[in-house]
């Protein structure tokens, strides 16, 4: 074999070796971010039942009193004297996860969390709390009054484990941390629900509305 032919054979062999190494390197690269599931996708699979999910190692934080929120209609006093009226109120407080996604009552997600907390703390957990009642409210002339309520809340953190019968996104199992915030039983950790009457001065526009038709010298109720 001539020297020129030998050089050509060596060059061809080197080219094939480099190409083979490039293919091997490409197959060895880790999956890109696009191949990874989002937390929303994993939670959706937990909710639908496609993924067999558990909420592991739940840890309950100390309860705290949530923010006051208006739970009744507003009472406007367009008269010249104090006005006292019985106002009804109702409030429903739900749960959300660390992404702000609602954890609905009676759904698979809520049931999984309840099962985990019950097993670890020997008491049940509820993803929602509803309450209603009525209260006498006195509003001074030129003011607006309403009823607000604050619910005792509690956070629980843990690790979601999602198991698939067949690999999904390349794996049978996926894990992610989560914190769920929801209503706690009244009196938990010494914290108590609060229901209060709030009021403020009418705005200029609201005062002008007092002279509209039947509102003159009277009180009226307006939703929320």
pLDDT level of residue 5 (50, 70, 90 thresholds) = very low
Q: Which structure tokens are listed for 79?
A: 């008269």
Say how far apart CA 140 and CA 74 lie, in whole Å.
13
Full-model pTM: 0.79
> Taken in order 214, 84, 67, 63, is the CA torsion positive or negative?
negative
For residue range 120-163, list pLDDT tens digits in order: 999 899 999 999 999 999 999 999 999 999 999 999 999 999 99
Q: Which residues contact 148 (CB under 8 A, 6 or more apart)?
A: 68, 69, 70, 71, 195, 196, 197, 198
What is the structure's pLDDT at 20? 37
What is the structure's pLDDT at 34? 57
Say how far apart CA 142 and CA 50 lie, in whole Å.
58
Q: Name the DSSP class of 38.
A: P
Say how far apart CA 158 and CA 56 lie, in whole Å.
6
For residue range 33-57, list pLDDT tens digits in order: 557 999 999 999 999 999 999 999 9
Q: Which phi and psi angles does 148 have, rounded to 5°?
A: -120, 155
Indicate the Cα dihedral angle 47, 52, 58, 60, nearest 10°. Answer: 20
- Average pLDDT of the chain is 86
Q: Which phi and psi angles does 74 have, rounded to 5°?
A: -100, 140
DSSP string spanning 130-184?
EEEEEEEEEE-TTEEEEEEEE-EEEEEEEEEEEEEEEEETTEEEEEEEEEEEEE-
Instruction: Report which of residues 166 and 11 the model is more confident about.
Output: 166
Query: In Å, what is the CA distance from 59 to each residue of 97, 123, 155, 160?
Result: 14, 13, 8, 13
Q: Which residues contact 198 (CB under 8 A, 6 or more apart)?
A: 68, 70, 145, 146, 147, 148
For residue range 55-113, list pLDDT tens digits in order: 999 999 999 999 999 999 999 999 999 999 999 999 999 999 998 889 988 789 999 99
What is the structure's pLDDT at 58? 97
Contact (CB, 8 A) for 109 and 101 = no
Q: Is the pLDDT of residue 17 over 70?
A: no
């Amino acid at each position: 074999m001539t020297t020129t032919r030998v050089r050509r054979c060596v060059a061809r062999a080197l080219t094939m070796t480099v190409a083979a190494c490039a293919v091997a390197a490409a197959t060895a690269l880790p999956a890109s971010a696009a191949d990874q599931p989002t937390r929303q996708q994993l939670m959706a699979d937990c909710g639908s039942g496609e993924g067999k999910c558990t909420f592991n190692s739940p840890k309950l934080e100390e309860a705290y009193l949530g923010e006051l929120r208006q739970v009744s209609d507003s009472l406007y006093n367009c008269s010249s004297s104090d006005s006292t009226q019985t106002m009804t109120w109702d409030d429903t407080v739900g749960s959300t996860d660390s992404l702000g996604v609602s954890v609905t009552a009676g759904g698979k997600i809520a049931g999984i969390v309840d099962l985990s907390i019950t097993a670890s703390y020997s008491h049940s957990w509820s993803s929602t709390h509803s309450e209603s009642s009525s209260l006498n409210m006195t509003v001074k002339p030129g003011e607006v009054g309403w009823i607000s309520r604050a619910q005792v809340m509690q956070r629980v953190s843990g690790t979601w484990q999602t198991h698939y019968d067949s690999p999904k996104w390349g794996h049978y199992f996926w894990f992610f941390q989560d914190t769920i915030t929801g209503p706690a039983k009244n009196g938990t950790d010494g914290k108590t629900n609060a229901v209060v009457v709030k009021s403020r001065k009418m705005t200029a526009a609201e005062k002008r509305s007092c002279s509209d038709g039947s509102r003159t010298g009277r009180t009226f109720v307006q939703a929320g």
